[in-house]
Amino acid sequence: MTVQGKTILITGACSGIGAETARLLRMRGARVIGIDRDDPNLSLDGFVKADLSTPAAIDAAVAQLPAQVDALCNIAGVPGTAPAKLVGEVNYLGLRHLTEQVLPRVARGGSIVNVASILGAEWPQRVNEHKALAQAKGFEAGAHWLRDHPVPQATCYQYFKEALIVWSAVQSQEWFLQHGVRMNCVAPGPVFTPILGDFVTMLGAERVQADARRMLRPGFADEIAPVIAWLCGDASRWVSGANIPVDGGLASTYL
């Protein structure tokens, strides 16, 4: 993992997977700038407080960032217990808008890493729908598309993680060819983070118990962070458009 001297942006840097990724990257010699709606409780090299649910707030945050960075890790997100509209705004539309605004600042050879989820694994069932949403360029166009194609509250988290995986795949090659910037997804399974309880509530006891029999245990945030960090570094320079499960083998049990 070669990240020494790189400047890396991390959304959701103040807790969970984001905080562990920030600690690891700083330990490896990177300069880490956090973006979060909460105040930091760990050492960072820079911090921007921002709500990533609106284009105006995102644009204001981007204006405070360095002119050039080497990687962007989109880790911030809200659970499916939040209103479906907010889940779409933060986990998909806002993430997409932030990435598009930061892209001109990412140095050639740089990297974008989006944290998806094992719950996005059913994207092939709705691939045409997700590709249509991906083609709705810009935050407002995407929001308009979603108003015309409402997402049920019960499945909103899964839906937008599917959409993120599809958007990352269809957009990645264009950016790699034109800008030399790679984009990949990491798909964790259940992870011991502050919002794990929200996922238990969201999925229900029956689904949680069924999955529990398929896995050794939930993951730890410091088991997800090294894969994100690797995708930021030079060792992964020929990896683009991938979605990498980091779930202790849980996804494989559904084959």
C-beta separation of 230 from 8 below 8 A: no
Helix (H) or strand (E) holding 133: helix 127-134
d(CA 114, CA 53): 16
Q: Which of 254, 228, 218, 245 is nearest to 111 (CA)?
A: 228
Q: Rounded to an integer, what distance in angstroms lies between the CA atom of residue 103 and that of residue 182?
A: 10
Instruction: Tell me if 2 sits within 8 A of 233, measured CB to CB.
Output: yes
| 157 flagged as catalytic | yes
Q: Which residue reads 């001297």 in tokens?
A: 5
Q: Which two tokens stand for residue 50?
A: 């921002």
- Residue 240, Cα to own-chain centre: how many angstroms? 15
Q: Which residues are catalytic?
A: 157
